Structure formats: structure tokens, C-alpha cells
Structure 1
């Protein structure tokens, strides 16, 4: 990558429209991952209640989305969560949110990179070709990082195009599967959730939430989007509604495609392959479907690196982390240093976990990533009503949004740690907590050794109030 940079440059403003903003969110959600992989884990726990688990997860995150939209509709910035929460709850908690989301996005990129390896292998094996894990990690990671470095508009449009095509084809396949089981379209067993347990559905809720995480990532493009105060909230809420409807549809119809054999679906490592074979498709069809799934995973890696890099950029600009993260490429106007770090971490960690296998890497990185998102979602749900109260604009509905968002996220976290899961998932919450403590200690060091950094951020945010917060 070129070293042509200058510190005073800014990201390319008003460069992106609604399609790119929603493309960022949808690509970060990566809807194809649910029918290709995530639904298996959810069904294994929730059985015939899986469609409701996805519905409840969507409803909970919709309230989180409304809290996000409250702030995104009033001001915008690169790495918006960091700035949103800093403005409402102070720079220290803003820093905590920043560290949480940096981990969330980059670990999400790692998890999806591992998932892409699974899809690539299934696709290539269907035509008799084999490839090593490390080759897939390096090639996909480097191409994704290069596209992020080169142009956010192109990478966002590419991502949404890939997802649209993939979701459309999978939806058609699922509809055909349902038509072949006409007596099960109104499936009483699923509607009554026969055999589903509250414990299983609670545990499955964390996995369901991971299917949605990243829906908010359009807010990280606040500086680069046209009319961000209207475009970003629309993108966040629309992406959540679209994903929620699609995931409920997937869970319901895939169970039908498996003739209500949830154990069989819950143990299937390649459900789309089974679906294609059930429809009479051969090796060419399996190759095509898993190629699309691989491209969808690739799009999600791009979106995660883009989002994580912009959080690093914003934190670097305020010197919460090394100032080099706040540099912008002179030609491409992308945060190239932050993209380089995000890409390197995305590739290196899965390579170090090769002995774990792609599926375990996906599960472990995805679980810790979810903890980061939950932390940020709780903080943003607190920040929204606090900000409105300061502006004397707080309404009862805003308090309701906040309470539901907080309770739902804390409930999901509790469900992930109790009953205590098996190793290594029992230690993952403590690893994440240790990471947050290190982040807090770093912030405390800044507060006492360089208080001017926090003061400068407070003054900077305050000075923007007439421009940023003047919208009713």
C-alpha cells in the first residue's frame, strides 16, 4: 500500500448514499450466514421454537436500533458510537464503547473469515478440489483489506449486490421446498413450538443475536454519507427489519424443508448442500450456492473491516489510541493505517488458531464479538435517553425503548454465561472482561497523565453542539 498520506486530511464527505449505507449494515449482518451456518446452531438448541427466537431477537435489537436512530438522527461522525456515547455519558464511557466495538467488529471479521473457509471448502470439494485453510484466510483477508483501503463506495456497493443475489436465490430455494410440503406451510408443530424448552430458547437467543450484529454499522459512515441525519437512521432500522423478517422466514422454512427433523438440521454442517440435494440439484448447484455463500462471507469481512477501521480512526483522531490510526490516505481518503491494522488482525488470529479448525474459530471469535456488541448496545441504550434529558426532549417512549433494549441485551448476556457452558466458552466472558479492564486502565492512564486529551474531546464535542445537536 502507498505511504502517500497527510495528517490533516479528512474522509471523503457526502460520498455515500442510502444504498451504500444500508449495504454496509446488511453486509455486516451477512444474511446468507444464517441459512448457511447459524440456523443450525439455533435449531440445535431451540428446536421448533427457532423462528420465535429469531423474532424475539429482532424485536429486542429493533429497540436498540431505535435508541441508535435517536442519536444518529441528531449528529453524525466516523466511529459514531464512540462519539455518541462520549457526548452523552462522557469520554471515559465513550472510550469503553470504542474498545468494545473495535473488538466486536474485528472479531466478527475473524469469525466470518473462518466461516468463509467452510463455504469455500464445500464449494470446491463439490467439484473435486481441495484447498488449505491458511490459503483461504490469506487470500480473502488481503483482498478484503485492499478493497477497504481503495474505495468505501465500491466495497459497499459490491457487498450489497452480493447479498441481494445470494438472499434472492436462497429464498427461492426455500419457497420451492415449502411448496413441496404444502401440508406443512401452516405448521402447527412450529407454531405451537412442540418440544422447545425455555432453557434451549434462552441459550439460542445469543446465537440469534449474533446473526444480527453489525446492523448498526452504517453509523460508522456518518462522515462519508449524504444527508447522514436522515440516511443513517433509515439504513439502521431498515436493515434490522429486513434481516428480522428474513431470519424468521429462514428458520421456519428450513425446518419444513427437513420435515420437522430438527435434530437432523441441528447436526448438519452443510444445510444448504442438503437443501440443494433435496431439490434435485447436483454438484454444479452446490458449487454455485456455496460460492455465493463464500462471496457473502467475503462481503461481511469487508464491512467489518470498514466499520472497525472507522472506529479506530475516530479514536485515533482524539488520541485515545495511537494518533497514526487517525491518518487518512491523501488519494483514496480512507483511514488506511486503521484498515491495515484491522486487516492484519483479521488474518493473523485465525492463522494462529488453525489447530482449532474453522468451525471452532468461527464459534469462539463470534461469541467474544457478540459480547462486544452487547456492551455497546447497552451503553447506547443508556446514552440515548440521557442525551434527550439533557436537551429537554425526553419522552416516555424513549425511556421504554431504552429499558427494553438494556434488559434484552443483559438477558442475552446472562443466557450466554448461565448455565455455565463447556470449555472454552466458559472462559470467554472472562477473557473479554480482561480486555475491557485493560482498556479501562488505558483510559484511566490518559485521564491522569494526559487530561488535556479528554478535555479537548469534551470541548470539541461541545463546540459542535450548534451544528450537530441543533436538529429537533
Structure 2
């Protein structure tokens, strides 16, 4: 049986919370049988009345302020699903994959799915033991130390931040398409775009400030409704194809190896965010069960939807002579299959899905910033919680204006929404995959340190780390150079992160020494805690 993985005083995280021990003992006292002796009953009563002191257990958690153990499985699941945004991914990612892999879209999606499953299995080993709002940052720090942990934090901030911008741009873009279809050309004006970008950001802030339950449930409802529209369209397309057209994707000529690897790298971006449930580690009820289950089922379910969508788009595009240019394949399929009404609803559904993506990504981003603030790595002001709603409102007040300002700047310099989406996904993927690589490398070291290493977990982590490293290298060599602005931004952010780490080592070494804080058992959880 797995043990509690050390004590808080030793700096090693615990496997699971002790729960309300007093209530448990009272239940035992009420359920004693006739075989229990009076001496045992007296001893039990004495233990309840005067419990022995448990040394080394702190009175407060470093993550105090956030709600604790109140968010149910459905809300945690909504967080991961919203961050992945499968409805938006099904409509846009196959087009991005096709640019690199051509007809190998299906193979690239399947390869990315298998890799994502290995990554999920690796990250779940951490999630079974640590309740950490800092998620991958905290996991990496516990395995490899403050330096790699800071690199993972930098990658995570870039990943969550730019994918949130991706969500804001996508929401404004598809909402503008929907309004244009209803009202005419006036809705296509540039100032309407500005208003929609600002409006989406305002909606995100309003929902997130109200608390995690509201934001997660809004996210889930939006995403499920959007998926229903997408799946209905896919079903209509498949129903219009004959046997030869349905078989065509499986007989297509395979792509070159370089294109396939590059396509897999792009396909992996469709899965990023599945681990964001870990950022609710403190807030989740039964986190060591809920978070790993959420991560596992999100990857499995989303991968199945992506395969279905990629297959349907390939088959439909071949049958109707539709290209993937500009990400309009799904809309063209709706038009060519006489499902124009569904196509109009599709724009609204995709706008909603991108909004859900922005909300969920900002949820995880704010908690990562909050954790860094609590540790003193970032200014401590961003580590404060709004007492009434128990939300990291200072962190939200910092990240949301930036999330809106960058898309506004891209629009101001004349970029089309699709150009902005391509740029933002490239930068976010570079950050995400870097954080994934570091976390998978950290797991074997972490498990050895706590005495729970096994050949199976090391093997899965090794497969994930090697696969991710190959994808990251290919991504940086093949994908990023195609976006010269992305090259400058990724390089600039890497240099900025390195300079920030050097500053912390010299001027704020105590903050680095505190790196890796997580929500641990407190005295109120234990009978006899001091």
C-alpha cells in the first residue's frame, strides 16, 4: 500500500489528505460491537478527548485563501475540457495539420493522441501525490529543483497566456462571422473587431471573478453545446458520402516523415491544456482521485473526437473538392451538404468554444501566477485572494488586460484573425511542450527521491519525454521559422526568462528556495495536529 510520502517538515509532499479524523473516530465509536471491551472504549474516548500531538504539521497551508476541497468532479472536468476546447480544435486544428502533413492528418492526430496519453499517465503520477495550483511548475520543481522548475513555470505562463489569447481572437473572429451572416457587412468593420475583442476579455474577467464554480459550469455548458453542433454537422457530412468516399482517407498516400512529425507537433497543440485540472488541486474535492481521473478521461475523450473530426473532414474534403486553406473547411462542408443553418450555428458555437477556452486557460494561468506570487518569485501582490469570492483577483487583474492587449496590437498592425491564430498557437505550443518535457523528465527523479520508483512509471515517462523532445525540436526547426514574428517572440521570451532567473538567484534567492509550494495537510485535518 502506498504510504503518505513523508511529512511536511521534510519538504516531501503527502499522498492524500487525512480528512476529518475526529469525525472518523466518532463514527468508529458509534459502530463498536458487543465484542469491544470497556478498556478499548475508554482508550478510544481518551484519544478523542486528548489526542496525541502530531509534530511537524503546520497550522496553515501555503495556498490558504483559495477554496479548499469544495469543487466537484464535474467542475474539475469542465476546467480541462474548456482549456482544450475540443469544439474549436475539431474545426481549426485539422487545417493547421494539413499544412504540414498533407493527407497524413489522420496519422498525425493518432500519433499525437498516443503521445498525449503517455504524457497524461506521467503527470497523473504527480497528481496522485501533490495538490498544486502551480501544476507543471510545482511538479517539475519537486523533481528537478528550482532552476528547471522556473523554466517550466516560464513555459507554462507562455502556454496558458498565448492559448488564452488564441481563445479571445477565435471567439471574436467567429462571433463576427455570425453577426455578419445575420446583419450584413457593417458587422465586418474593424471597430467591431476591437469591440468584440474587448468584450470577450470583459466577459472572461466577469465570469472568473465570480468564482471557479460559475466559470467551470459556464465553460462546460458552452463546450458541450458547441460539440453538439459540431458532431451534428459531422454526422450530416458522413451521411452524404458513399462507400468509396468513406474509404478514401485510409488509402491516401502517406506523407514524408518530416511532414508527419511536423504535423504531429501541430496536432499535439490540440491537446494542450488537458492537465489544467491540476491547477484546481487545492479547490477540488478528493483531489487525488478527481484530478487524475479528469486528466485521463479528458485525453481519451478529446482524442476520439479529434480522430472523428479529422477523418470526416478528410473524407468530405475529398468528396466535395474542398481545401483546408484558411480554416474554412468545416464551414464549406456545411454549405456543400445543404446544412447552411448548421453552418451559421457553427460560427456561434465556435465563438462560444473559443470563449470557454479563454476562460479555462485564464483560470489555470491565474493560479500559476498566484502560486509564483505566494512564493515571492513574482511580486507578492499577485498572490492575494479576494476574501469574499476566494478568487486570485490580483492575478486576474494582471493577466486579462495583457491577454486582450496582444490581440488588439495584432489587429492594429493589420493581421487577419487567421494570421493571429496561427501565430498565437505557435508561441503557445512552444511554451506548453517545453513545460511538458520538463515535467516528464522530473517524474523519475521525484519518485526515486520519495522511494516509490518503478520500472513501469519510468518507462512511460521516458517514452513521453523522448517523444515530446522530438516533437519540440521538430516544432522549433520546422514550424517556428515559418512564423518570423513567432521566432522573435519565442526567442525574446526565452532570453527574458533566463534574465529573470539570474536576477532571482542573485537578488531573491530566498524566493527560489521556497519554490514548489503546494497545498498540504494542516493541523485542522489531523487528530492531534498542532
Q: Give the TM-score taking structure 2 as reference length.
A: 0.81
Give the superposition deviation at 1:430.
5.1
Deviation at 1:215, TM superposition (A): 0.8
Alignment partner of 2:286 out of 227, 231, 235: 227
Residue 443 of structure 1 corresponds to which residue in structure 2? 501
Q: Does 1:312 align with 2:372?
A: no
Structure 2 unaligned blocks of 5 or more: 1-61, 526-530
Could you tell me which residue of structure 2 aligns to residue 240 of structure 1? 299
Which of 328, 336, 341 matches 2:385? 328
- Which residue, 471, 474, 490 being the options, matches 1:412? 471
Match of 2:417 among 322, 345, 358: 358
| Aligned-partner Cα distance in 1 for 2:289–2:519 | 22
Following superposition, the deviation at residue 169 of structure 1 comes to 2.5
- The structural deviation recorded for 1:317 is 0.2
- Match of 1:265, SS state, is coil
Q: Judge conservation of contact 1:184–1:256 (CA < 8 Å) in 2.
A: no
> Normalising by structure 1, what TM-score?
0.91
2:104 to 49, 53, 71: 49
Distance 1:429 1:391, change over 3 A: farther
Q: Structure 1 residues 232 and 461 mapped into 2: Cα distance closer, same or farther (>3 Å)?
A: closer
8 Å Cα contact 1:33-1:293 kept in structure 2? yes
What is the aligned partner in structure 2 of residue 345 from structure 1? 402
* Matches for 1:259-278 after TM superposition, within 5 Å: 259-260=318-319, 264-267=322-325, 269-278=327-336
Summarize the Cα distance change of 1:419–1:336 in structure 2 as closer, same or farther, 3 Å threshold.
closer
Contact 1:82 1:315 in 2 (8 A): no
Distance across 2 between alignment mates of 1:62 and 1:8? 29
The question of 1:279 aligning with 2:376 is answered no
Structure 1 CA distance for aligned equivalents of residues 487 and 286 of structure 2: 39
Which SS does the other structure have where 1:258 is aligned?
helix
| 2:63/2:282 contact within 8 Å kept | no
Partners of 1:462 and 1:230 in 2: how far apart?
Answer: 15
The aligned runs of 1:366-405 (5 Å cut-off) are 366-405=425-464
Kindly tell me: are residues 8 and 241 of structure 1, through their superposed partners in 2, closer, same or farther at Cα, counting changes over 3 Å?
Answer: closer
* Aligned partner of residue 320 in structure 1, secondary structure: coil
Question: How much does 1:124 deviate?
Answer: 1.6
Shift of 1:417: 3.1
Q: Work out the CA distance in 1 between the residues paired with 2:266 and 2:69.
A: 35
- Give the alignment of 1:122-161 within 5 angstroms: 122-129=177-184, 130-131=187-188, 132-161=192-221
Deviations 1:43-89 (A, max 9, x none): 23323321111111011111111111000011112122222211111
In our comparison, the structure showing a higher alpha carbon Rg is 2
Which of 260, 263, 270 matches 1:201? 260
**C-alpha deviation, 1:29, in angstroms:** 0.6
| Match 2:249 to one of 182, 190, 193 | 190
Residue from 311, 336, 340 that aligns with 1:252: 311
| Alignment CA distance shift 1:467-1:434 (3 Å) | farther
Check 1:62–1:215 CA distance in 2 against 1; reply closer, same or farther (3 A cut). same
Change (3 A) 1:154 1:185: farther
Deviation at 1:463, TM superposition (A): 8.7
Deviation at 1:319, TM superposition (A): 0.5
Q: How far did 1:446 drift? A: 2.0
RMSD over aligned Cα atoms: 2.4
Aligned length: 457
**Contact in 2 for aligned 1:320/1:443 (Cα 8 Å):** no
1:465 shift after superposition: 11
1:467 Cα deviation after fit = 12
